[in-house]
Homo-oligomer: A and B are copies of this chain.
Amino acid sequence: MQEVKETAEIKAFVEAEVRRQIGEARKEIDRAIAEVRERTVDDRATIVVFSGDLDKAIAAMVIATGAAAAGLQTSLFFTFWGLSLLKKKGAARPKHGIKEKMFALMTPSSSESLGVSQMNYFGMGSKMLRSMMKDKDIASLEELIDMARDLDVKMLACTMSMDAMGIEQEELVSGLEYGGVAAYMADAASSRVTLFI
């Protein structure tokens, strides 16, 4: 009886001692793993869409849908000329200031009137690019934007740019989020892929 009691006591001691030492080691290990985890990224891609050129807009949307299809949570931050991609057709609001009027005149009124970054001979380049892509059964910019929505790509419109360029929410398509560079950076800082287009 004495021996059995002793063995039970020893076992209890051993189990407790192992648990204690492992517990201490675990605290250090878990802290080390947590520190390393802080230095990692999410399965996320973030693209700044700055350009209002048709060819760059298509590239941005092809990459965005490709990223989403590859399983990355994808965010697009539309800023400056990139906001043209989001304009509702025929929804331009009357502009009040003379500068805003001129600015609106000189920027595309919707995704359908974007030019091409190179060889934009009076809009011929963009007509040709659209036509050649159609001939080859490649998705149009508008189809790509719809695909991106279906793949839950987040579309963030830059409020600072909207303010600077005199663009109001009613002029843009629905389903957008609105924010500034801080909102963009919150996504970008944990992204695997970050691009400026």
Q: Give A contacts to B, CB under 8 Å.
A: 3, 6-7, 10-11, 13-15, 17-19, 21-22, 25-26, 29-30, 32-33, 36-37, 39-43, 45, 48, 50-53, 55-56, 59, 62-63, 65-67, 69-70, 72, 79-81, 97, 99-100, 102-103, 106-107, 117-119, 121, 125, 128-129, 131-133, 135-136, 138, 160, 163-166, 180-182, 184-186, 188-197
**Chain B residue at minimum C-beta to C-beta distance from A29:** B29
Q: Cα distance A185–B195 when bound, in Å?
A: 12
Contact B11 A11 (CB under 8 A): no
In the assembly, how many copies of this chain are there? 3
Can you give 29 contacting A-B residue pairs, CB < 8 Å? A10-B13, A11-B13, A13-B14, A14-B14, A14-B17, A15-B21, A19-B21, A21-B22, A25-B25, A32-B33, A36-B36, A40-B40, A59-B79, A62-B160, A62-B181, A63-B184, A66-B185, A67-B185, A70-B185, A70-B186, A70-B189, A72-B185, A81-B118, A106-B125, A132-B164, A132-B165, A133-B164, A188-B192, A190-B192
